[in-house]
Amino acid sequence: MIGEELSSKVLEQAVYPKAHVLNRFVAKLIDLFIVAAASEMASPVGFLSGLAYILIADGFAGGKSIGKRLIGLETIRLDKREPAGFRESILRNLPFGCAQIAFVIPWIGWLMSLAIVAFESLLMIGNEQGRRLGDEVAGTQVLDAGQLVVPD
């Protein structure tokens, strides 16, 4: 019985094709520009607003951050086949939040941030479904908009 549940979950996850990697990079770059702009505001408020945005961005309407909305991507929960909420957004973007916090530390922090982003990028490129560590933890996947098909 447990094996059947596990295999059905694997089949459900295999239904969705991988979103275009270039689109994902461009969408994240747009979101990072928003974070950088927010971080340039007054010292603690700017940093905290940028951190808050990077963590909850994918929880906005339809699982789309501003970058994903502009590029045509969406984040879905694989277990319920619906757009991701704020909980999933925080879980999946926690590595990027850690990278932003580490970026404040000169040199070592910058290298740590670069390592986190590179690791997440390699996982996204190498995974069949384009799922990075944050997606695995949150149970989410990024799709091209319109690919989510809810079964009857």
Contact 129, 142 (CB under 8 A): no
Residue 11: pLDDT band with limits 50, 70, 90: very low
Does residue 2 surpass a pLDDT of 70?
no
Contact 73, 27 (CB under 8 A): yes
pLDDT confidence of residue 23: 94
pLDDT confidence of residue 15: 64
What's the full length of the chain, in residues?
A: 152
Q: How far is CA 151 from CA 3, 14, 15, 142, in A?
A: 22, 14, 11, 18
In whole numbers, what is the pLDDT of the chain averaged over residues?
86
pLDDT confidence of residue 13: 46
Could you give the 3-state DSSP secondary structure of residue 144? strand
Which residues make beta-bridge pairs with 143? 74
Does residue 68 surpass a pLDDT of 90?
yes
**96-119 pLDDT, tens digit each:** 999 989 988 888 999 999 999 999
Q: Report, in this order, helix, strand and coil percent for the chain, each rounded to 5.
A: 65, 10, 25
* Between residues 41 and 32, the one the model is more confident about: 32
DSSP codes, 79-99: TTTEE--HHHHHHHHHHHHHH
Beta-carbon neighbour count of residue 13 at 10 Å? Answer: 15
Give the pTM: 0.81
